């Protein structure tokens, strides 16, 4: 799973890592050992746990991620410009 510092990990992989972490802790492994095994930092796993608990999906939480440009041309305007 660990692909290097600053790499993006999809929410499905994060959820699976947290599931492995939970199962490993129940079986007696330390969180640090499991983080090393998964190839991510312990603080990263803790941050993912907070995000899944708060947002639910653990996905993109950047402020502008779902915004659309208000000044974008409509399809009709775009076609009219292309035809001229």
Indicate the pLDDT class of residue 27, thresholds 50, 70 and 90: very high
User: What are 45-60's pLDDT values in tens digits?
Assistant: 888 888 877 655 555 5
For residue 65, tell me if it sits in a domain. no
For residue 47, tell me if it sits in a domain. yes
For residue 22, tell me if it sits in a domain. yes
The alpha carbon of 15 is separated from its chain's Cα centroid by a whole number of angstroms, namely 9
- For residue 50, give its domain range: 8-59
Residues in Cβ contact with 2 at an 8 Å cutoff, skipping those fewer than 6 apart = 38, 39, 40
For residue 67, tell me if it sits in a domain. no
pTM equals 0.56
For residue 78, tell me if it sits in a domain. no
Q: What is the pLDDT of residue 4?
A: 62
For residue 27, tell me if it sits in a domain. yes
For residue 77, tell me if it sits in a domain. no
Number of domains making up the chain: 1
């Amino acid at each position: 799973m660990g692909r290097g510092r600053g790499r993006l990990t999809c929410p499905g992989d994060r959820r699976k890592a947290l599931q492995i972490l939970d199962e490993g802790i129940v079986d007696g492994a330390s969180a640090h050992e499991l983080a090393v095994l998964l190839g991510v930092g312990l603080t990263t796993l803790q941050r993912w746990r907070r995000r899944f608990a708060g947002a639910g999906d653990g996905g993109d939480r950047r402020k502008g991620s779902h915004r659309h440009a208000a000044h974008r041309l409509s399809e009709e305007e775009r076609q009219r410009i292309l035809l001229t």
